[in-house]
Structure 1
Amino acid sequence: MAISKHIIITSLFISLLLLHPLVQAIDQEMTSNNRGGSSFAPKMNCGVACEARCRLSSRQNLCKRACGTCCSRCNCVPPGTSGNQELCPCYYTMTTHGGRRKCP
């Protein structure tokens, strides 16, 4: 009877040792997802944000279309009607095939 208790305790201890790295990996993945703003960040209303961004543009339809594309990819639109693009790094770095900035 005493031997079976030792076997059970030993096997429980070994299984805990084997599961510990797996639990650590899952915990680390969950904390890195929360830090990066990744998939848990709320989706912004691109239509309203781009309407405000493009309201003074001379070519509003073109501005709203480009802004909408950038907003949906980056989930960010800089404040104001122009400039401030460095506040949204993804928005700031998007370029056209010609090398010009895509986002208004």
Structure 2
Amino acid sequence: MSSLKEFLEKKVRIISTDARLFEGTLQGFDNSTNIIVSNCIERIIYPESDEETQEIPMGLYLLRGGNIVCIGEVEDPDPVDWSTIHGDDLKGTKNPL
């Protein structure tokens, strides 16, 4: 958890348990790894046969720690050309009861 301190005020990429991809500037976090992200966007990546990757502006966004799989810093400028990225739907990370 203390390792998140190094990401404060930096651009991060977050993957959630329901396979959503978020990017933004990490503004804060707590002991439960709930995080606050400013200038947040959600990226939606489609299979090759569908449309290009979509960016949905979310603004200031709060993500619950229990819904976060991983957080990592994004290089500036971002080396990924998102218009060329395609993929398949990801399965959820939680097992059904």
TM-score, normalized by the shorter chain, greater than 0.5: no
TM-score for both structures, normalised by structure 2: 0.22
Please say which structure displays the higher CA radius of gyration.
1
- Which structure has the highest helix share of the two? 1
Structure number with greater CO (CA < 8 Å, separation at least 6) is: 2
Q: TM-score with structure 1 length normalisation?
A: 0.21
Higher strand fraction: Structure 1 or Structure 2? 2
